[in-house]
Chains A and B, each alone.
Chain A
């Protein structure tokens, strides 16, 4: 069993690249907004972990896993608008080439010389947590020495309009841009490198709850599995972070009540701090909790997205930090 250390963590809500290395700034200037956010966050997290590198051969044992709800939606909308308005002969090759949700992962791999697994997943708003979970498994099974992992999303008027037209608006919080990025590596490796620990990923699980799952069985199963995976009891938790969305609030409440049976610890909603950042929400809250001196015991980040996707991840801030 490999323990997973978090050695880098960064929360970014504005794609501000002033502190990024020049090679990365140049690439970011040409990239779409969600990629700029991730480049800024990944740069800070890698520097945090002492793994910053922007030239030389790709490092085959370092990789990236990113999660996103809507990926390249903004680029898709811009490309499609022009295609529909001007016809196929005037379609934009520059925009079309960026209509892939893995563009950010590709740019991170190029910018920071990561030659290992470059994986992007979408699973609604739970995608960021599930990306961290998958990266943790890649590290735990010895497939990588370190992974950049987290969630990202960016929104604009087209996305907001589409969400509203489809009755898919998440809740009261206004949509915002965000990227929450961690660096994960084996605890032993981190100790060998002598880098400060930000925390540990203890366990995780995923599930799927359709609207008719009124008893929230799938949510409950994911929470229970994540705690078992982490080897912790419900009473051991100091904090639960959940997505605050009216459409899944009742299922979330039922599941938490069933698992914690009246002993529910403090509950936090990332949207209160960041607005609705979709797949970045869970990772952003995770980064904040790692930095919160008050959170010393394990905590659960739970995401029950209206799409049905469920992510549950148990982490702990580094023991002994002030």
Chain B
């Protein structure tokens, strides 16, 4: 194979979001910085038997049955506009899509299942059900004709999408990749997390009183571009992708490794890829779901990585909820803004830090001014999936 080698680098030149805090980059960032919380009772579908029924919904998009695809399309269009890219002016075979999701067109699937059970006519749009569909919709509508893939790493899918994108760009398999994640709320997923006793009415990442996560929805998409390609266009670089890593826990299908060994391996792989050691990391965007096990596992992993060194840590899941396949992408967008702005958003919902997490410098209360040159974002999901991203200042 003729891999392009180390001469190529991946940078982020555009970001777009459809989020529970608003559907522009400014609304998302301003909401995070202000410490706003988007949690409210479920509005969009029957929730009488759902308990808890608190979620973070996106306003609008009611007319499109493929809600996750619609979110992603808007976010991708924002990202392309922000990057100043028109795909039709590029070689379309050099433009790819890497878009994570855990639900795809699940709401359409619910409708189909109900129709089959009732013996009534089945709904249109069944081709939008599969997990690969939102990425395919983006490629189809926006004109990307290069690699198109949907990473399936459960709740680490959004981070894995950025990983795939950066890997393709650096290996010379694409010059521009729309990378991100999208997911929607529906009964399927809310009932599922409820029956696992993983949900709560408020998410309190790293708090001693945390009881569970709050589900959210939305999409975040980045333009990941080859550095020289971006420079030739005179594009503004928002962040550099310095390294990517993934690792399996290889311990349990639903419970995280208590020692955080999978996260540690993923982070060390990403840092090795970046040619950095843990001392270079200035800020960590944690997975931080607010479930008892996840946060304890992560605290342990970060302690193993950073020892006594106080590295500011946040989680945005107390603000926008756990957006599943989009979560890692939202967090990468947030990290890009932190690198550019020098402000770290606080962990919404954190009031009494868990003594078991005392090794962490948790950003709480107000947002914090902090000079960040290197940001680390980690994600973990069911089946022991972990992915890590190391981003650098432009």
Most buried by A among B132, B253, B269: B132
Contact: A69 with B132, CB < 8 Å? yes
> Quick one: which of B116, B144, B167, B246 contacts A208, CB cutoff 8 A?
B144
Contact: A118 with B385, CB < 8 Å? yes
Looking at A43-51, A119-127, A266-274, the stretch in contact with chain B turns out to be A119-127
A109 within 8 A of B: yes
Query: Shortest distance in angstroms between B45's beta carbon and chain A's nearest beta carbon?
Result: 11
B13 within 8 A of A: no
B149 within 8 A of A: yes
Query: Shortest distance in angstroms between A258's beta carbon and chain B's nearest beta carbon?
Result: 14
> Quick one: which of B92, B109, B253 contacts A106, CB cutoff 8 A?
B253
Most buried by A among B152, B188, B253, B261: B152
Contact: A109 with B248, CB < 8 Å? yes
Contact: B129 with A166, CB < 8 Å? yes
Contact: A4 with B113, CB < 8 Å? no
Assuming A88-B50, A115-B248, A115-B265, is B93 touching A165 (CB within 8 A)? no
> Quick one: which of B136, B192, B381 contacts A309, CB cutoff 8 A?
B136
B310 within 8 A of A: no
Return chain A residues, CB-CB under 8 Å to B269: 116-117, 143
Assuming A81-B117, A115-B248, A204-B1, is B112 touching A106 (CB within 8 A)? no
Return chain A residues, CB-CB under 8 Å to B122: 165
Query: Shortest distance in angstroms between B223's beta carbon and chain A's nearest beta carbon?
Result: 17
Contact: B171 with A141, CB < 8 Å? yes
In the complex, per-residue mask of A101-115: 1 if CB is within 8 Å of any chain B CB, else 0:
111011101100111
Contact: A165 with B112, CB < 8 Å? yes
Bound CA span A203–B173, Å: 11
Query: Shortest distance in angstroms between B68's beta carbon and chain A's nearest beta carbon?
Result: 14
B252 within 8 A of A: yes
> Quick one: which of A60, A100, A166, A206 contacts B247, CB cutoff 8 A?
A60
B64 within 8 A of A: no
Contact: A102 with B1, CB < 8 Å? no
> Quick one: which of B3, B110, B135, B251 contacts A137, CB cutoff 8 A?
B3
Contact: A206 with B147, CB < 8 Å? yes
Contact: A58 with B248, CB < 8 Å? yes
Contact: A130 with B149, CB < 8 Å? yes
Query: Shortest distance in angstroms between A86's beta carbon and chain B's nearest beta carbon?
Result: 10
Contact: B130 with A70, CB < 8 Å? yes
Sort A-B residue pairs by CB-CB distance and give the 9 closest, nearest first: A106-B383, A166-B126, A118-B248, A109-B248, A96-B192, A206-B147, A58-B250, A88-B191, A101-B152
Additional A-B contacts beyond A122-B131, A206-B149 (18; CB < 8 A): A1-B1, A80-B113, A97-B382, A103-B382, A109-B248, A117-B248, A123-B132, A124-B136, A141-B171, A166-B127, A167-B127, A206-B147, A208-B140, A208-B148, A221-B93, A228-B2, A308-B136, A309-B132
